[in-house]
Amino acid sequence: MRSSAELGALLRTHRKQQALTQLDMAGLGNTGNRFIVELENGKPTVQLQKVLDLVHLLGLELVLRPKAGKGC
């Protein structure tokens, strides 16, 4: 993943797959609807901890690893 827009689109897809509205996510994630809208639209300055909380809420996990063929 290389952009906040990619992450936002991925989270939107998973939210919709779980039949959740943006308002549902805001309520479950203890955040405002505006935050969900901005996140899904790829705003690059959203709060990281809130993003991680929503990733967890959707049943996803964030995994970081070296790029294929690249050393650390």
Q: Which is nearest to 4 in space by CA: 50, 56, 58? A: 50
**pTM, rounded to two decimals:** 0.88
- What pLDDT, on the 0 to 100 scale, is given for residue 72? 60
Q: What is the mean pLDDT of residues 27-53?
A: 97
Confidence of residue 20 (pLDDT cuts 50, 70, 90): very high
Query: How far apart are alpha carbons 35 and 22 in whole angstroms?
Result: 9
CA 70 → CA 65, 66, 67, distances in Å?
Answer: 10, 6, 5
Query: How far apart are alpha carbons 25 and 44 in whole angstroms?
Result: 19
Q: How far is CA 66 from the centre of its chain?
A: 21
Query: How far apart are alpha carbons 69 and 21 in whole angstroms?
Result: 39
